[in-house]
Structure 1
């Protein structure tokens, strides 16, 4: 039997900790089990080298996001080798082949009406002249009144929208962001 195991892709923005390893270990155990049974296994994963956590870390350290991603991808590979993980392929989201495959999938979904554009309001910092990912917005939780990030309040565990925060501020410059319309792609109802 052919078995495909797609492991989680950890953000390449900081060292792996026990929680990361415990969430990744189940894939390796499954791969070993099926290989021991004689099945053909393709066990893949990689470092998520894109995204807000990497950008935040890069800004904090005064380096490029690519430098952060490179550093932690190398560290992840070393850790997985030392721990004896048995990936058939461990890659990264910023590799050319990854971009090509994702673009092909995106184009196919778009052509088959599986995704659609929708205008939504998002936090925008006019000082930094950019839309702000949820983790770039901080403020006061409207539910408990404690400090919170734009994605969630760690104090009361409420999932938040950045624009719902009270006394919101841009994590980069400290100015107050405003709501501004922008287009995003969404899964159509019949896709999920």
Structure 2
């Protein structure tokens, strides 16, 4: 008997889940879990609601309620929908819990201690009228690649292009629709580039991976991983366990 851990993608708790969620990231994992249970394996299928991030705060501000109210409302709605579909999670939890906070903060401090986090300034959209920075979904505009309208600040869903601050054409604040400024702000970054060579070595001998997945991953790593910001200029989320 083997022990099998099945990790299911966590949908944002800013609205009801739809058939795309079920077909793409829940039903296949449930089938795989059931299959392994039939084989006699010990299976743990885990997932839950992603209750943090800009999708939740944007929805909350539009409704005039707190982010926690939005997050808990849709967590319960989606949890019931999943149960009604007969999906068998071992654990369906959520991110706005003491346990999640403690775990994330412990990982943060471990990464910091081992030299995998760094701080530096980067440019972000800032709305003078609303007096706040505008992370990803707080700013929309026109995709510079394909011309799609109402594209969010970090990625175009139409063509898949990802953006840096300033790439969007005709950018505007989603709340007041005024044109944002670009200002520097300091964040913690995960030093993904420091892991590049180690990950390339890990890929060696992975002939059992699907060829397209292995090729995509290899090319991505050969292009070089870029450091990624892991903090945001917002209050909703896991507090950074640092002074200041």
TM more than 0.5: yes
What is the rounded CA distance, in whole Å, between the counterparts of 1:156 and 1:187 in structure 2? 26
Partner residue of 2:185 out of 172, 182, 186? 182
| Offset, 1:25 | 1.5
The answer on whether the counterparts of 1:137 and 1:162 sit within 8 Å (CA) in structure 2 is: no
Of 158, 168, 173, which aligns to 2:161?
A: 158
C-alpha deviation, 1:184, in angstroms: 2.2
SS of the residue corresponding to residue 127 of structure 1 reads coil
Residues 177, 107 of structure 1: alpha-carbon distance in 2 compared, 3 angstrom cutoff: same
Q: CA RMSD in A?
A: 1.8
Distance (Å, rounded) in 2 between the aligned partners of 1:121 and 1:167:
17
- CA-CA distance at 1:150 after TM superposition: 1.7
User: Secondary structure at the residue paired with 1:8?
Assistant: coil
Secondary structure, aligned partner of 1:164: coil
**Which string of whole-angstrom CA distances, capped at 9 and with x for unpartnered residues, describes residues 129-148 of structure 1?**
21101211122333455523
Q: CA deviation at 1:118?
A: 2.6
Q: Secondary structure at the match of 1:33?
A: helix
Aligned with residue 99 of structure 1, among 93, 98, 101:
101
5+ long unaligned stretches in structure 2: 197-244
1:49-128 matched pairs, under 5 angstroms: 49-128=51-130
Runs of 4+ in 1 over 4 A off after TM superposition: 154-157
Taking structure 1 as the reference length, what is the TM-score of the superposition? 0.91
Using the TM superposition, name which of 142-151 and 82-91 deviates more. Answer: 142-151
Assess if the C-alpha contact under 8 Å between 1:4 and 1:41 holds in 2: yes
Counterpart of 2:20 in structure 1 is: 19
Q: Provide closer, same or farther for how the CA distance between residues 61 and 30 of structure 1 changes in structure 2, counting only shifts above 3 A.
A: same
Is residue 12–residue 49 contact of structure 1 (8 Å, CA) maintained in 2? yes
- Structure with the higher fraction of residues in strand conformation: 1
**CA gap 1:146/1:92 in 2 versus in 1, 3 angstroms:** closer
- 1:134 matched to 2:129? The reply is no
| Map 1:23-42 → 2, pairs under 5 A | 23-42=25-44
What secondary structure does 1:163 align onto?
coil
Alignment partner, residue 167 of structure 1: 170
